[in-house]
Structure 1
Amino acid sequence: MTMALEHPADFAADSATTVGDVMTRPELQISDDVMVDTALDILLSSGAPHALVRDDEGRCAGLLTRMHLAPFRARSWYTERTPVRAVKHDRAPFATAGMPAAAAAATMRSRGLDAWPVVDDDGHVIGLLSL
């Protein structure tokens, strides 16, 4: 018996598809001056796997995941005094809305990203691309 496996349609399969066509609205955003313990509480209570990080001018500063905050789960005086900007997390370069979706998917795979912020020309978040 021969069985053929079908691959689900992938947004990267269509060469005319852009990131702007497939991005979603980012649900959770935090400021980079939020303390690590607060960021951890936000991520855990929301159930979200990640949060977009903005700088004090509202521009995208990166994507923070639960894995980035894992070393801080012990909750010490250090987590109460450490801002998110001091934590190593995924930073630029970011995707743009006009970027081909296939190129964005390849970049995400090569960088090991499950989600990638999409920014406008000024660096403000306009969406989130997920594999």
Structure 2
Amino acid sequence: MTLIQTQLRPDDANPVHRTVAEVMDAAGPQVCDDMSVEVALAVMAAARTVRLVVCDQDGQCTGLVSHTELAAVRDSSDYTDRVRLRDILGDHGSFTSPVTTMAEAEDAMRTRQLGALPVVDEQGSALGILALSR
């Protein structure tokens, strides 16, 4: 995985021109989309995180799952231990580039009602996560 180094900017830097790479969080744990919901919840607990980056078997990011989403699936009446992360991923097309401006990313996230968005490189590998402050 390629690491992005962020550079600190003065507080008066124009937020319209700031890029996603400047403010994104580390990608954190990445799991395969064939993982079960129970195992994913255990990984989250061990890593002390509230979301996981989900990748396919080629290592390309396919989305994010949150603890809230996984707990809701596990607690539903339709849940079985055969449910995999790929079965519950929502909007697979929601990604952003590290060179996207914050203004563009925030607008897209608010329009699609996303609290977090994976940041991927040109090959689809996860570089980080952009999360909106509520």
Question: Could you tell me which residue of structure 2 aligns to residue 71 of structure 1?
Answer: 73
Deviations 1:57-76 (A, max 9, x none): 00001000122211213799
- AA in 1 matched with 2:103: A
> Could you tell me how far 1:91 is from its partner in structure 2?
2.2
Aligned residue for 1:64, secondary structure, equals: strand
Alignment partners' CA distance in 1, 2:98 and 2:48: 27
CA RMSD of aligned residues (A): 2.5
Whether the 8 Å contact between 2:94 and 2:117 is mirrored in structure 1 is: no
Cα 1:86–1:22, aligned 2, differ >3 Å: closer, same or farther? same
Matches within 5 A, 1:52-91: 52-69=53-70, 70-73=72-75, 78=80, 80-91=81-92
> Could you tell me how far 1:90 is from its partner in structure 2?
4.1
> Could you tell me how far 1:77 is from its partner in structure 2?
7.7
> Could you tell me how far 1:88 is from its partner in structure 2?
3.4
- AA in 1 matched with 2:75: R
- Identical aligned residues as a percent: 31
- AA in 2 matched with 1:73: D
> Could you tell me how far 1:93 is from its partner in structure 2?
2.8
| 5+ long unaligned stretches in structure 1 | 1-8
TM-score (norm 1): 0.79
- AA in 1 matched with 2:49: A
Cα 1:22–1:108, aligned 2, differ >3 Å: closer, same or farther? same
| 5+ long unaligned stretches in structure 2 | 1-10
Alignment partners' CA distance in 2, 1:53 and 1:127: 12
Whether the 8 Å contact between 2:73 and 2:79 is mirrored in structure 1 is: no
In the alignment of these two chains, the number of paired residues is 121
Cα 1:71–1:82, aligned 2, differ >3 Å: closer, same or farther? closer
Whether the 8 Å contact between 1:63 and 1:90 is mirrored in structure 2 is: no
**Largest Rg, 1 or 2:** 1
Question: Could you tell me which residue of structure 1 aligns to residue 6 of structure 2?
Answer: none
Aligned residue for 1:129, secondary structure, equals: strand
TM-score (norm 2): 0.77
